[in-house]
Each structure stands twice: as C-alpha cells, then as structure tokens.
C-alpha cells in the first residue's frame, strides 16, 4: 500500500507540481530558485520518483544545460565583463546570472514533473476526468504516454535496419548523416500511423464512445492528506510570491 | 432458426484498388461451432474478419456488396458499439490491443464504455479474467506479460463485453508454443460455454480446436482439403 507522498491522489500531486512550476517560472532570483529546486528534489524523492536514476539516464544531455546558460549569457549581457572576444562581450556577470536562472527554472519544471510520474497514467486520467476534463482529452494524453516507448522502439528498429545495410552512422559526415535520418522519417511515421489506426480500431470494437458518457470502475477519493497538501502548497506558493515581489 | 453469423454473397474491394479481395463469400456459422478459415497471406482472411466484425464498412471504407448478418441483423444497420456487445474480435498484434497501465483497467475499458454500474463491471472483470486463467495478473501491467499472456488479456477485454460470437484474427501468429496452448485451451473453454468462434489462421498446427475448416483462396471460400 502506498503511504505518505507516494499515496497521494494524483490531483494533489498535480497541484503541488503546478505550484512548484509557477514559482520556477515567476521567480528570477537564483537564491530563491535554488531553494525551490532543492524543495522540488526532496519532494520528488519523498514521492518515490526515480529522480537520480533519471538524472543518470539523461546525463548525456546535461551539456545542453551548460550551453543554454552560455547562450543566454551571450544574448543578454549586463554588468562586469568576464570574457571579451574581439570587442564582443561574450560572458558577463549579469548574463551568466540570467543563464543560471534559466537552467534552474528548467530543472524545477523537470524535477517537479517527476512527482507526477509516481502515479500511473490511468490514475492521472481518472483524476483529470473527476476534475471534469473531457475523457477523450485525458485519454489521449494517457495513450500518448503509453505509446511513446513503442515509437522509440520503432525508431531504433529503423535505425538498426539502415545500419544492417552497411551504413555506419557514427562514421559518416554530419551532412550525410542528416540525409540518412531524413530517409528514416517516412517508415517511422507510417509505422506510427498504422499503430494508431490499429489502436483506434481496437478501441472502437470495445464500444468506445458508445454513449456520450461512460462509467469508471476506478474512483479516486481525496483524503485529508490530499487536502492538506493542496492547501499547504498553494499557501506557501502565494506567500513566497508575495514575499518575493513585495518584500525583496 | 437465426444463426449467430451469416454471410451472403459478400464482395469487397479496397478504395483505389482495381480488384475484389473477397469474391462472393457465403458462410453460415452455427451456434457453439468453432470454425477455422485458413489461407495464404493476401488471400483476404483479415478483410473477411473486418467484414464479419463490422469494421468494414463502419471504420474502413471501400466497396462492399452482399450482407453480413449477426443474429439475423445486417452489420450495416448496426453501430459498432452495438456489434461489440454481440461479437468480439482479438487481433494479431498484442501491443496495439493493450493500452491501459493495468490489466484491470484494460478489461474494464469495454464495460465502462457501456455505462455499466461499478458492481457489474467488477463482476465482469472477475468472470473474464477467470475464463482466461489470468486472475492473478489483475493488478499487473500488460507491458510485463509474455505475448501469449497479452493475447489472453486482449481476449478477456473482449469477453468482458459478453459477446456471443468471437473472432480470432491470427491471434496465435506472434506468440510462442506455450502461449498458443493457452489460447487454444481458452478457445476450448469458450466453446464449452456455448460461444460461437471463428478462427482465422495460416498455421495448420493450430486447427486441432476447430470443428470445421474452410479455405479462403484468392477471395473465394471453399472446403479445405489439407493444403493451402
């Protein structure tokens, strides 16, 4: 049985995630952003997400974060110049500050989203439906999540098929590699279209949209802890924003 | 006596195609019978399945002539949800038939669409999973099942709609020997319960559960004489 944050209703998790993301988007100060990120990480781990495993998995794209910070710094220079290249202010203190803030902001959104991943997508759909979101829309989101791994497999299969024909993608020039990738689009897209058509047919043969409404075997009920999480996260967020905008 | 499934002079041509895939198919399936239809790839087996289950003309268009009657009612005059409560179909590909995070959600999907009460859905879930011998997997994820088990869950999802007729469109083509045995046992169990079954097959080793075998060759249905 799930207990603590793990056992929360997906709707209270969603409110928590929205509060954290809102703070991440609206706040500019990197000290406050760092604090929000730290809280997000603690909550994510407490909710039982595989946060560190995910960070490890995506370590290859971490350099992208550094690149974003530098690019942000180049395009919004201000303050003391740290790196000057031929009269162009490449990195400034103010620019770097904004770059770091951007990276922190993105991290908050991603880390807080991992809290949602601790609920299965059927629960999320049910939560949304009980919030009066149309079932078709909620279900569409859940199917997209379900079929993402299948699409990844499809891409891997097509890439393997190309490599088996003697093309070593790692050893050919970038321009040629891009050309090869453009050839992969057609089989991947057609495979995805066929799968989605088969899925739609299966759903129709199981009486999908037989009536304007449908019953749900699963029924989510909010507990006291859920209400507490919703009230506390909203109150803390509002207080933080008021303090940030009016007191700092 | 009204037969569960009847096909009268059925012709079908896909949109944009110059040739008919089905050519004057006539067929009567008796109550409680297990009928197997065999044929080579491209002989029109899956198209026949689509016509029997109302997918043609309701979902896939094309030029369909003749009649398919489910319990005496033409499929053209019924809507797909109406057909779903009378006839269920299990397809070839296990992955595109399962789209829910748990087995329970998957099997409950059909009855939920029919707006049944939660108590009734619970009963149907229990019965369907018991029929295919998958009760222990109720709270598991379909992704973690073998091919054969996935097909059994797909079958349970259809059975929860309580149809009288079942169609298996090469449902054993992508699973191992153990999975095939499980599906065949499920078919035998369903036959004992009086369900009418049509199996579309290209593997002759799977025909041992069938009462009658017909051959579909180039869109024409004929008696099977041991060779495809």
CB-based contact B80 A219, cutoff 8 Å:
no
Q: Residue B175 and residue B94: Cα distance in Å, rounded?
A: 9
CA distance A115 to chain B (A): 17
B5-223: CATH topology is Rossmann fold (3.40.50)
Confidence of residue A76 (pLDDT cuts 50, 70, 90): confident
Would you say residue A3 has pLDDT above 70? no
Task: Look at residue A214 and tell me if it is in a domain.
Answer: no
Whether residue A192 is found in the same domain as residue A96:
no
Confidence of residue A73 (pLDDT cuts 50, 70, 90): confident
Q: ipTM value of the model? A: 0.90
Whether residue A74 is found in the same domain as residue A9:
yes
Would you say residue B108 has pLDDT above 80? yes
Query: What is the b/e burial string over B34-51, where b = at least 16 CB atoms within 10 angstroms of the residue's CB?
Result: bbbbbbeeebbbbbbbbb
pLDDT at A79: 81
* Cβ-nearest to A215 among B96, B104, B116: B116
Whether residue A62 is found in the same domain as residue A185:
no
pLDDT at A141: 81
Chain B CB contacts of A209 below 8 Å: 81, 113
Whether residue A106 is found in the same domain as residue A46:
yes
Whether residue A72 is found in the same domain as residue A9:
yes
Whether residue A75 is found in the same domain as residue A145:
no
Q: What percent of chain A has pLDDT over 90?
A: 37
Is B80 an 8 Å CB contact of chain A?
yes
CA distance B211 to chain A (A): 26
DSSP state of A246: I
| Residue B27 CA: distances (Å) to CA of A67, B8, B221 | 67, 7, 8
Would you say residue A84 has pLDDT above 90? no
CB-based contact B99 A143, cutoff 8 Å:
yes
Whether residue A112 is found in the same domain as residue A13:
yes
Would you say residue A60 has pLDDT above 80? no
Is B129 an 8 Å CB contact of chain A?
no
Whether residue A94 is found in the same domain as residue A184:
no
Q: Which residue of A has its CA nearest to B158?
A: A206
Task: Look at residue A226 and tell me if it is in a domain.
Answer: yes
Chain B CB contacts of A147 below 8 Å: 99
Question: Mean of the per-residue pLDDT values for chain A?
Answer: 87
Is B116 an 8 Å CB contact of chain A?
yes
Asked if residues B222 and B47 have their Cβ atoms less than 8 Å apart, the reply is no
Is B118 an 8 Å CB contact of chain A?
yes
Residue of A157, A206, A212 to mutate, testing the B interface (most B Cβ within 10 Å of its Cβ): A206
Domain limits for position A115: 4-119+222-247
Q: Residue A78 and residue A82: Cα distance in Å, rounded?
A: 10
Chain A CB contacts of B161 below 8 Å: 206-207
Q: How many domains does chain A have?
A: 2
Whether residue A153 is found in the same domain as residue A34:
no
* Cβ-nearest to B84 among A147, A150, A205: A205
Chain B CB contacts of A220 below 8 Å: none
Task: Look at residue A33 and tell me if it is in a domain.
Answer: yes
Chain A CB contacts of B81 below 8 Å: 207-211
CA distance A171 to chain B (A): 35
Whether residue A229 is found in the same domain as residue A115:
yes
Helix (H, G, I), strand (E, B) or coil at A166: coil
Task: Look at residue A128 and tell me if it is in a domain.
Answer: no
Chain A CB contacts of B159 below 8 Å: none
A139-143, A205-209, B6-10, B69-73, range with the lowest pLDDT: A139-143
Q: Which residue of A has its CA nearest to B108?
A: A217
pLDDT at A37: 95
Angular region, B219: left φ>0, alpha ψ -120 to 50, beta rest: left
Whether residue A82 is found in the same domain as residue A156:
no
Asked if residues A14 and A116 have their Cβ atoms less than 8 Å apart, the reply is yes
Could you tell me the pTM of the whole model?
Answer: 0.81
Would you say residue A2 has pLDDT above 70? no
CA distance A60 to chain B (A): 27
Asked if residues B52 and B7 have their Cβ atoms less than 8 Å apart, the reply is yes
Would you say residue B59 has pLDDT above 60? yes
Task: Look at residue A34 and tell me if it is in a domain.
Answer: yes
pLDDT at A209: 86
CB-based contact B100 A122, cutoff 8 Å:
yes
Helix (H, G, I), strand (E, B) or coil at A241: helix
Q: Which residue of A has its CA nearest to B112?
A: A215
Which residues have a Cβ under 8 Å from the Cβ of A163 and sit 6 or more positions away?
A169
Residue A174 vs residue B160, higher pLDDT: B160
Which residue from A219, A221, A126, A10 is spatially nearest to B119, judged by alpha carbons? A219
* Cβ-nearest to A206 among B104, B109, B115: B109
Q: Is the dihedral of CA B135, B141, B144, B148 positive or negative?
A: positive
Dump strand ranges (E) for chain A: 81-85, 88-92
Region B129-145: mean pLDDT is: 93
pLDDT digits (tens, 9 = 90+) for B166-225: 999 999 988 889 889 999 999 999 999 999 999 999 889 999 999 999 999 999 999 999
pLDDT at A248: 60
Helix (H, G, I), strand (E, B) or coil at A88: strand
pLDDT at B208: 93
Is A212 an 8 Å CB contact of chain B?
no
Whether residue A226 is found in the same domain as residue A115:
yes
* Cβ-nearest to B97 among A146, A150, A202: A202
Q: Helix %, strand %, coil % for chain B, to 5?
A: 40, 25, 35
Q: Residue B37 and residue B165: Cα distance in Å, rounded?
A: 15
* Cβ-nearest to B112 among A121, A146, A215: A215
Residue B132 vs residue A169, higher pLDDT: B132
Q: Which residue of A has its CA nearest to B81?
A: A207
Task: Look at residue A35 and tell me if it is in a domain.
Answer: yes
Task: Look at residue A210 and tell me if it is in a domain.
Answer: no
pLDDT at A87: 76
Domain boundaries along the sequence of chain B:
5-223
Residue of B83, B98, B100, B154 to mutate, testing the A interface (most A Cβ within 10 Å of its Cβ): B100
Asked if residues A33 and A108 have their Cβ atoms less than 8 Å apart, the reply is yes
DSSP state of B152: H
């Amino acid at each position: 049985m799930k207990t603590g944050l793990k056992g929360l209703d997906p709707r209270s998790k969603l409110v928590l995630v929205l509060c954290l993301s809102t703070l991440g988007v609206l706040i500019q100060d990197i000290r406050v952003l760092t604090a929000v990120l730290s809280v997000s990480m603690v909550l994510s781990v407490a909710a039982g997400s595989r946060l560190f495993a995910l960070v490890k998995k995506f370590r290859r794209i971490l350099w992208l974060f550094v690149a974003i910070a530098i690019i942000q710094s180049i395009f919004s220079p201000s303050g003391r110049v740290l790196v000057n290249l031929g009269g162009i202010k490449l990195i400034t203190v103010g620019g770097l500050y904004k770059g770091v803030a951007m990276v922190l902001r993105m991290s908050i959104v991603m880390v807080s989203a991992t809290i949602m991943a601790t609920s299965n997508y059927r629960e999320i759909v049910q939560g949304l439906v009980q919030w009066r979101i149309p079932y078709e829309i909620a279900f569409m989101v859940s199917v997209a999540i379900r079929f993402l791994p299948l699409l990844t497999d499809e891409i891997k299969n097509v890439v393997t098929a190309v490599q088996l024909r003697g093309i070593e993608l790692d050893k050919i020039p970038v321009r040629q590699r891009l050309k090869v990738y453009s050839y992969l689009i057609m089989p991947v897209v057609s495979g995805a279209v066929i799968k989605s058509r088969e899925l739609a047919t299966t759903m129709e043969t199981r009486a999908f949209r037989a009536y304007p409404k449908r019953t749900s075997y699963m029924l989510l009920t909010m507990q006291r802890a859920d209400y507490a999480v919703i009230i506390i996260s909203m109150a803390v967020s509002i207080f933080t924003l008021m303090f940030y905008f009016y007191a700092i | 006596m009204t037969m569960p499934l009847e096909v009268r002079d059925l012709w079908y041509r896909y949109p944009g195609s110059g040739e008919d895939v089905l050519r004057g198919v006539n067929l009567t399936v008796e109550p409680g019978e297990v009928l197997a239809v065999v044929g080579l790839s491209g002989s029109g087996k899956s198209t026949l399945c689509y016509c029997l289950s109302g997918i043609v003309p309701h979902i896939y268009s094309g030029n369909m002539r003749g009649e398919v009657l489910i319990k005496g009612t033409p499929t053209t005059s019924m809507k797909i949800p109406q057909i779903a409560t009378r006839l269920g179909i299990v397809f070839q590909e296990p992955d595109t038939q399962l789209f829910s995070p748990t087995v329970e959600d998957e099997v409950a999907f059909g009855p939920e669409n029919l707006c049944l009460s939660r108590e009734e859905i619970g009963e149907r879930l229990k019965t369907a999973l018991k029929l295919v011998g998958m009760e222990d997997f109720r709270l598991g994820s379909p992704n973690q099942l073998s091919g054969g088990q996935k097909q059994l869950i797909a079958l349970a999802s259809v059975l929860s709609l309580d149809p009288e007729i079942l169609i298996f469109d090469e449902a054993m083509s992508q699973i191992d020997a153990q999975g095939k045995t499980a599906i065949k046992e499920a078919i035998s169990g369903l036959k004992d319960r009086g369900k009418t079954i049509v199996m579309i097959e290209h593997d002759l080793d799977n025909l041992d559960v069938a009462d009658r075998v017909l051959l579909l060759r180039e869109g024409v249905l004929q008696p099977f004489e041991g060779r495809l």
